[in-house]
Structure 1
Amino acid sequence: MGKKGSFELTTITSTVATTIPPSSGQVETQTEGDPNTPARVQWDHKAEFVLSCISMSVGLGNVWRFPYLAYSNGGGAFLLPYLIILFLCGRPMYFMEMAFGQYHQEGPVTIWKKVSPIGRGIGIAQCIIQAMISMYYVVIMAWTSYYFWVTLISAFKGEDVPWGDHFCHNEWAHYETCVPVNYVNQTDISVMSPYVPVLEFFNGTEIKEKKYSVSQQYYDRVILQKYKKGDTKSYGLGDMGDVNWILLANLAGSWVVIFFTLVKGIKTAGKVVYVTSTLPFIVLFIILGRGASLEGAADGIKYFIYPQFDKLLDVETWRNAAEQMFYSLSVGFGALVMLGSYNKRNNNCYQDAMIVSVADTATSVISGVAMFSVLGYLARQMNVGIDVVAEEGPGLAFVTFPEAFNRMPVPHLWSILFFVMLYTIGLGSEIGALETVLTIFYDEWPKLREKKPMVCGLTCFVCFLVGIPFVTQGGVEIFLIFDSYAGGFSVLFPALLELMILAWVYGLRRFLDDIEGMLDRKFNIYWTSTWGLLAPLTVIIVLVMSFAFYTPLNHGGDLPAFADGLGWVLAMVSIIQLPIWAIVAVYQAKGNTLAEKFHQSLWPDEIMEGYTANAVTTDFTFSSVKLHENGGPNLYMYDNEGYDGKK
């Protein structure tokens, strides 16, 4: 007989232990419930899973996004917070999500039915974020494809690379502000860079306009068509201009490639990753070797490694580092849960997680070294500081590397290698993002697996239509907003809720029992302390500090004031799913009072259905959740006069 006021429901925790499915053995691939629905497929080989994780994690976030954020946030001042957050949050979450999906054999939405229905909005939010990322990541593939084809055509014609000195005389260029490569170090230039905010003298003549390198003008005026022909007036959110038809064709071609990669599901995607996960490493090491041998490379590498302490104390640097860590490892996006769900239950996902997380971090650092070695070279050539040698932003890779290749022997070869690498990692990132979205559809409506070509084709076509504004002449500003809000800041919210529910609601002890039984090994205090406290605390601190010291996105003053509002609308599309689906879960839960419904929504029916009406009366107030030493939470309640001590 329990004492009025409070009692420990140890009977509940013992019931929980009997309702959790076995922790070992091979999963049944047949969809539960309906024997006529298609079976859930699995990876043909373990290597395909590992390479898929590498292809997704070691993607554009590492090679394209990491270097430009590092450059924008002071090099080493960005690297140090990134590594700290990686240790406290990224690495633990990477393994947690992979094991989470493998154990429950469900995608990122349906998995919460087994774990905690109130968290269903996490999967919905992650699906929306992944869909948004896939819409604008493919734009990078379109830019890359454009560069690749014009470089290849110029090589076959025996011409210089298109962004050579001759471009200053092109109809798209603005001759008065175009700085040819061979003018460098031959003038009285006090400040020179691919994007020059201040240029006082050029050939001894005082000037009033900004100067741009050939590669910067080519990127802005040909690839993006951001400016009117021969003019300095740019397009943007206020005036989007016309569709860039060549870029639109490259966008369409990229979606066709993505469709044929995804149409057969993970079976085909698993084969493609043999290329998308290995080729980038080969090319990256080639570029790294060449970049490190350039004059001035050591200056750039030093800038990347040594932090600027004024930037290190900037909250924005820490927020960007946190966002990039989630981006780089793909944690908090649902993709790791999706990939892990296609594993066999006895797969050693701990080993896989360690391999991929180390490879991901190494790739980010190598990409940073490669980028900053080139920046150091350009700074030495132009006799300027590294902090002003290039324009900050997503175009950094498309300006800096081509500018450097233009100064090297055989520029066509280096350019083609670079653009092939960038395209393949973009494809790998797209596969991970869209396969997550498609898996959610297939898990919610299993019969759709029989209609994969139609579902995949429709998804790709809709994403293509949504992507058209990105390839207008002012579309790069939409791109900036999506990159900062739709797939950047917003991912922190579902990631935090995921950590809190798994550690504090589902129960850290229960989660450990799941994976320790599945993998037949014990996990030390590093994992328990990060999952249970340090990881969620890190995300909370980053979020609180970000709001306390918030500054709107302006990209050097180029964006209009309403751009920040538009960005928050995009962010809220995913964030709002968390409370909406939590309310739905409480509303749909069994119970006569709101307290009962809330309690039922925290734990799924398969765990709670073993309890009798006498175990928990309709007259209780939920007080707290604590970890039980044998798995799952203990519930401390009071006012349980109806409890008679029996189940």
Structure 2
Amino acid sequence: RGNWSGKLDFFMSCVGYAVGLGNIWRFPYLCFKNGGGAFLIPYVIMLLIAGLPLFFFELGFGQFASLGPIAIWNINPLFRGIGFGMIAISAMVCIYYNVVITYAMFYLLVSLISMDGRLPWTTCDNDWNTEYCLSKPLPSLTNLTDVQKLNATMGLTMDDLTYNLSITNLSTCNIKHLFKLPSEEYFTRFVLQLHEAENFSNIGGISLKLIFILAISWILLFFCLKKGVKTSGKVVYFMATFPYVILISLFIRGLSLEGHMEGIKFYIIPEWERLLDVDVWRLAATQIFYSLGPAFGSLIMMSSFNPFRHNCHRDAIIVSFINCFTSVFAGFIIFSVLGFMAHNTNQRVQDVAVDGPGLVFIVYPEGIAHMPGAPIWAFLFFFMLVALGLDSQFAMFEAIISAIIDTFPHFLRPRRTKFAMLCHFIGFLLGIPLVTKGGIWVLTLMEWYSASFALMIVCLSELIAVVWIYGLKNFCADLNLMLGFEPAIYWKATWLVITPVAIVLMLILSAIQSSPASYGDYVFEPWVQSVGWAMVAIPLVLLDKPFRSFFKTLLQGIKNAMKPTKEWGPAKLEHRTGKYANI
């Protein structure tokens, strides 16, 4: 089955897997919106009571059995569906995750081509721009008393809308809806061509430039995974470490930008009263799950290639805190540039701060565009995104391949390269709807639903199957045999009680706080939401075996309870003839 080639291969792969795009585009915004520095308290607490225990649990589980996420359920065959659920979640995430990498690769290539000139998202004189594009700083509205002055300052024609309109005593005015940043029009109108799609019923044709780069990203992934961990384990040394070189470079550059402190203040100033908001705790727990990545099968897969005596206990602790540190550090980098951008465009930091694709493909590129040497910094930033994305993709997709090979080892293991090629080709085909003109809507739908409730239910199910049914005592004895020491009381308490309770509470809060999927102002149609919930159901349907077995046993018990007892029949023995003769 094979092992990691070197001692550090596994550790670096874990770092690469855990530190991904979410550390850059999600955590800083969550921190800013949910109490600033105070958000670190629920984040670290959720790390200690849910993230870290699950991380070590899956590493120890996989290393002990040396099996992938499906075959490992020899420990409790009734729960084998958990492994299939993990693979289903990973497959759905891999499909849209590679499209995000495709976006980053497109920007990376454009930045490389633009080294001797200007970046194409810096001006409004391109074919894809509209009359609403604004490349110069926003005007200050202080002491403006009529709209004609605003018209002159903005360079927009609004006579038909503002004829004879006079404004006095104006204290605030939000005019963001009147204009579009060049970077926004570049992303939506040139990269995505979103204006050519109407809705989910008409998402438009395929974007040729994106499908070409999507194919490149899948081919690149194939060559890194065709020999399994023996190839990916070497690539990850560079892919997991070089992003930190870029992060440090961007951090130093960010601190030299005018207005950077305003951005950092918004990021770190604590709002202690937000700690009383239960939704803040829910978001902290959700971010921990997405970031560390339990229940995807990847941690089980990676640790299954470890030597039996490897100290995965140490690795779990170190990787978890590296992930936490990277998230916090990335926030300083992101918000130093957002502070610079707010200063440069006469806006407030809170008005330019967004999360998700809008941060890394609209706001941050806009900030970079105004730096000296912008193409170089853009190239470094998008190279970092590609590296972070591929690191996580390595582990998730290898989990799928290894799990299926472990299920059919005699047939597939000798044909690993051909099977891996087939899996990557299928992944490419399934990603095509996401590179249509309205593909960002499909991506958003998958990101919204594919790894939400199902992820937490799978985590809860594996704890029930191993810790509660197989037994905490047995599992700890297995770890003692493997590691040479008994897990501390902290691990036992979290696995047995604290983590399951935290997951149940998070499920309840997520159900209460759930909202329909949307992109910008477009709230997806009800039938689209139904498709999203169907994606939630796919991994859960695979967990049905315990429930079927339970109800089968229950029905059999009821059926037996309604049968006549052996005492039924004629009271006297001489009368027991016919069918009663042998009773």
Counterpart residue number, 1:160: 118
The TM-score, its normalising length taken from structure 2, stands at 0.86
Aligned length: 531
Amino acid at match of 2:292: L
1:225 maps to a residue whose letter is Q
Compute the displacement of 1:78 (Å). 4.9
Judge conservation of contact 1:139–1:471 (CA < 8 Å) in 2. yes
Q: Paired residue for 2:537, among 572, 578, 586?
A: 572
Alignment partner of 1:150 is 2:100 = no
Instruction: After TM superposition, give the deviation of residue 317 of structure 1 in Å.
Output: 4.1
Which 5+ residue runs of structure 2 have no aligned equivalent?
143-149, 162-176, 559-583
Distance 1:587 1:367 in 2: 49
Deviations 1:146-184 (A, max 9, x none): 1111111122xx32111122xx1211111x21110xx21
* 1:372-423 Cα deviation digits (max 9, x unpaired): 2222222222232222114443231112221121111101110111111111
Deviation at 1:235, TM superposition (A): 3.9
Specify the alignment match of 1:92 in structure 2.
Answer: 53
Q: How does 1:225-264 map to 2 (within 5 A)?
A: 225-228=193-196, 235-264=198-227
TM superposition shift of 1:594: 6.0
Once residues 177 and 87 of structure 1 are traced to their aligned partners in structure 2, the CA distance between those partners, rounded to angstroms, is: 48
- Aligned residue identity for 1:59: G
2:381 equivalent to 1:425: no
Aligned AA for 1:429? S
**Contact (CA 8 Å) 1:77, 1:317: kept in 2 or not?**
no
Give how far 1:118 is off.
2.5
Greater CA drift, 283-292 or 333-342: 283-292
1:170 aligns with 126
| Conserved? CA contact 1:189–1:203, under 8 Å | no
Match of 1:459 in 2: 423
| 8 A contact 1:298–1:376 mirrored in 2 | yes
Measure, in 2, the Cα distance between the counterparts of 1:507 and 1:219: 52
Q: What is the Cα deviation at residue 425 of structure 1?
A: 1.3
Does structure 1 residue 297 correspond to structure 2 residue 250? no
CA shift, 1:501, in A, is 2.4
* 1:441 aligned partner: 404
Structure 1's 281 and 439: CA in aligned 2 closer, same or farther, altered over 3 A?
same
Counterpart position of 1:127? 87
Paired residue secondary structure (2:238): helix
C-alpha contact 1:109 1:123 (8 A) present in aligned 2: yes
Alignment check: 8 A CA contact 2:140 2:346 kept: no
C-alpha change, 1:77 and 1:492, in structure 2 (3 Å) is farther
* 1:509 has 2:473 as partner: yes
Structure 1 residue 73: Cα displacement: 5.2
| Counterpart residue identity of residue 120, structure 1 | R
Output the CA distance in 1 between the equivalents of 2:280 and 2:324. 18
Deviations 1:104-138 (A, max 9, x none): 1111111111x222221211111000011110110
220, 235, 239: which one aligns with 1:272:
235
2:295 to 332, 347, 352: 332
Alignment correspondent of 1:6: none
Deviation at 1:248, TM superposition (A): 0.8
Corresponding residue for residue 83 of structure 1: 44
Equivalence for 1:211: 179
Q: Does 1:500 align with 2:479?
A: no
User: How much does 1:585 deviate?
Assistant: 6.0
**Equivalent position of 1:223 in the other structure:** 191
State the secondary structure of the residue aligned to 1:255. Answer: helix
Distance in 1 of aligned mates of 2:520 and 2:354: 10
Give the corresponding residue for 1:406: 369
* 2:435 aligned residue: 471
Structure 1 length as normaliser, TM-score? Answer: 0.77
Distance 1:358 1:390, change over 3 A: closer
RMSD over aligned Cα, in angstroms?
A: 2.5
Partner in structure 1 of residue 167 of structure 2: none
Relative to structure 1, the CA distance from residue 556 to residue 418 in structure 2 (aligned partners, 3 Å threshold; closer, same or farther) is closer
Q: 8 Å contact 1:237–1:559 — kept in the other structure?
A: no
Q: CA deviation at 1:586?
A: 6.1
306 and 514 in structure 1: CA distance in 2 versus 1, 3 angstrom threshold: farther
Residues 227, 592 of structure 1: CA spacing in aligned structure 2 closer, same or farther, 3 A cutoff? closer
Does the aligned pair in 1 maintain the 2:477–2:486 contact within 8 Å? no
Is 1:552 the counterpart of 2:516 in the alignment?
yes
Q: Equivalents in 2 of 1:441, 1:586: separation in Å?
A: 27
Alignment of 1:550-629 (within 5 A): 550-562=514-526, 563-578=528-543, 580-583=544-547
Contact 1:477 / 1:559 at 8 angstroms: preserved in 2? no
Shift of 1:236: 3.6
Q: 1:546 to 1:372 in 2, by over 3 A?
A: same
Larger fraction in helix? 2
SS at match of 1:343: coil
- How is 1:265-414 mapped onto 2 (pairs within 5 angstroms)? 265-308=228-271, 315-414=278-377
Give SS of 2:523's match.
Answer: coil
Q: Deviations over 1:63-122 (max 9, x none)?
A: 234335545656556544332211111011111110111111111111111x22222121
C-alpha distance in structure 1 between counterparts of 2:31 and 2:337, whole Å = 14
**Structure 1 contact 68–397 (Cα < 8 Å) conserved:** no
Correspondence for 1:140: 100
Deviation at 1:297, TM superposition (A): 2.2
> Distance between the aligned counterparts of 2:448 and 2:33, measured in 1?
13
Aligned amino acid, residue 53 of structure 1 = C
By how many angstroms is 1:308 displaced?
4.6
Contact 1:236–1:473 (CA under 8 A) maintained in structure 2 = no
SS of the residue corresponding to residue 180 of structure 2 reads strand
Is the 2:111–2:376 Cα contact (8 Å) retained in structure 1?
Answer: no
Identity %: 37
| Counterparts in 2 of 1:184 and 1:592: CA distance versus 1, 3 Å | closer
Distance 1:555 1:319, change over 3 A: farther
Determine if contact 1:315/1:546 at 8 Å carries over to the other structure. Answer: no
Q: Deviations over 1:458-478 (max 9, x none)?
A: 111111111011111111111
Q: 1:73 to 1:218 in 2, by over 3 A?
A: farther
Quick check: 1:56 aligned with 2:12?
A: no
State the distance in 2 between where 1:308 and 1:201 align: 38
CA distance in 2, matches of 1:119, 1:138: 30
The AA in structure 2 aligned to 1:126 is M
Q: Give the distance between the partners of 2:444 and 2:301, measured in 1 at CA.
A: 28
Aligned equivalents of 2:549 and 2:39: distance in 1?
40
Quick check: 1:189–1:201 contact (8 Å CA) kept in 2?
no
Counterpart of 1:231? none
Q: Is 2:368–2:378's contact at 8 Å kept on the other side of the alignment? A: yes
Change (3 A) 1:384 1:594: farther
CA contact (8 A) 2:516 2:523 kept: no
Structure 1 residues 396 and 74, CA, compared in 2 at 3 Å: closer, same or farther? farther
**Bigger Cα displacement from structure 2, 555-564 vs 457-466:** 555-564
